[in-house]
Amino acid sequence: MAVTIRDVAAAAQVSPATVSRVLNGKVEVAEELRQRVVAAVGELGYRPNGLARSLRTRATSVLGVVIADVTNPFFTAMVRGIEDVAQAAGYSVVLANSDEDLDKERRYLEVAAAEQMAGVVLAPASSRGTDVSLLQQYRIPLVTVDRQLAGLDVDSVSIDNQLAAREATEHLVAQGCRRIAFVSGPSATSTGQRRLAGYRAALRAADLPSGAELVKRADFRAEGGYDATIELLRSAERPDGLLVSNNLMALGALRALQEMGIDVPGEIAFASFDGIEWARALRPTLTVVEQPTYEIGRRAAELLLARVAGETGPAQRVVLPAELKVGESSTRR
């Protein structure tokens, strides 16, 4: 006999309405109740009625995409690559925004599992804190993009973040910078960790200072980039070069430099990860590590659909090339 939502409610000792709210990702459910429902769903092997219908109508041809920040053009361009491949293969895409929040991310992954989506593309909020065990339990294929999960054999598509950061830092060194600061992303993410490692490797090779006072961690958002740059500019020894770990933080950093009246590149040579299309109109033009965002999404969707179709074998880690595009913001004549 098929397990019903009332069976789950009885096992979890909650109301059917509470089970429904949990399965639909509603945030107003108390954490203790939510955990009981998730445990009951797993123990009973419950599948929503919607799944039974979808198996008949092929509505399981849905890919979930959980990204860290829907406002970031990097992710929106990447999602377009995923969607184009999915649509061509007869799949639809459902987009969710985790806001770099592990609880929010977990709820979306629970919904993907409960609805038995065909597969999930995920930009993990944390390399170690992100929990994909429910997807694994339900054997839902997973591909990570931009970031990787520590200790898990999971398909991924990204660039070589450490190499890209090292090359950008080496470029600033070549421009004559001797005190180069770095606005880093969160240490919980693999991108934050590896870009910081690349920056430090370049400075060590050039025998230049790479102390903690030159590194400010921020949240991959514009305000975080602004605050971190203000701190660096107010330090006793102001940097003469600045590398920023993503495009939104770069906007905040540029605002800080403008407010402080800093000449770029005369006083501080500037480079960042990821361009923004409209930033081409800025003067000076920006030096950026340009990632193949659409291609990352396209390759991730292809990997995921291959797994959905039954492809087995070890996890594939696809590393695509990034390109340092030198603009006026870092060039000293």
Encode pLDDT of 200-256 as tens digits. Answer: 999 999 999 988 999 999 999 999 999 999 999 999 899 999 999 999 999 999 999
Residue 97, strand partner residues? 67
Count the neighbouring beta carbons within 10 Å of the beta carbon of residue 220: 24
The answer to whether residue 27 scores a pLDDT higher than 80 is no
Q: How much is the pLDDT for 247?
A: 92
Q: Rounded distance, CA 285 to CA 293, Å?
A: 20
Average pLDDT, the chain: 89
Residues 6 or more apart in contact with residue 10 via CB below 8 angstroms: none
Q: pLDDT: is 265 or 44 the higher one?
A: 265
Q: Please state which of the four CATH numbers 3.30.420.40, 3.40.50.2300, 3.30.930.10, 3.90.1420.10 is assigned to the domain occupying 161-290.
A: 3.40.50.2300
Work out the angle between the directed axes of helices 16-23 and 5-12 (0-180°, nearest 10): 100
Q: How much is the pLDDT for 202?
A: 98
Q: Rounded distance, CA 82 to CA 304, Å?
A: 10
309 — pLDDT class (breaks 50, 70, 90)? confident
Q: How much is the pLDDT for 59?
A: 39
Q: How much is the pLDDT for 25?
A: 63
Residues 6 or more apart in contact with residue 160 via CB below 8 angstroms: 319, 321, 322
- The token duo for 318 is 């696809």
Q: How much is the pLDDT for 54?
A: 45
Q: What is the pTM of this model?
A: 0.80
49 — pLDDT class (breaks 50, 70, 90)? low
Region 34-48: mean pLDDT is 80
Specify which of 53-62, 67-76, 261-270 reaches the highest per-range mean pLDDT.
Answer: 261-270
Helix, coil or strand: residue 125: coil
Helix, coil or strand: residue 258: helix
Q: How much is the pLDDT for 6?
A: 79
- The token duo for 143 is 């591909």
14 — pLDDT class (breaks 50, 70, 90)? confident
Count the neighbouring beta carbons within 10 Å of the beta carbon of residue 264: 19
Give the chain's end-to-end CA distance (angstroms, integer): 77
Residue of 127, 75, 74 whose CA lies nearest to 102: 127
61 — pLDDT class (breaks 50, 70, 90)? confident
Q: Rounded distance, CA 299 to CA 282, Å?
A: 31
Residue of 67, 60, 82 whose CA lies nearest to 301: 82
Q: Structural domain boundaries of the chain?
A: 1-46, 161-290
Q: How much is the pLDDT for 57?
A: 40
Q: pLDDT: is 204 or 31 the higher one?
A: 204
DSSP 195-227: HHHHHHHHHHHTT----GGGEEE--SSHHHHHH
18 — pLDDT class (breaks 50, 70, 90)? confident
Region 162-183: mean pLDDT is 97
Residue of 164, 108, 186 whose CA lies nearest to 322: 164
Q: Which CATH architecture has domain 1-46?
A: Orthogonal Bundle (1.10)
306 — pLDDT class (breaks 50, 70, 90)? very high
Q: Rounded distance, CA 203 to CA 178, Å?
A: 9
Q: pLDDT: is 278 or 105 the higher one?
A: 105
26 touches 57 (CB < 8 A): no
Q: How much is the pLDDT for 333?
A: 67
Residue of 212, 216, 288 whose CA lies nearest to 251: 288
Q: Rounded distance, CA 98 to CA 131, Å?
A: 13
Q: How much is the pLDDT for 55?
A: 44
Q: Dump pLDDT digits (tens) for 145-172.
A: 999 999 898 999 999 999 999 999 999 9
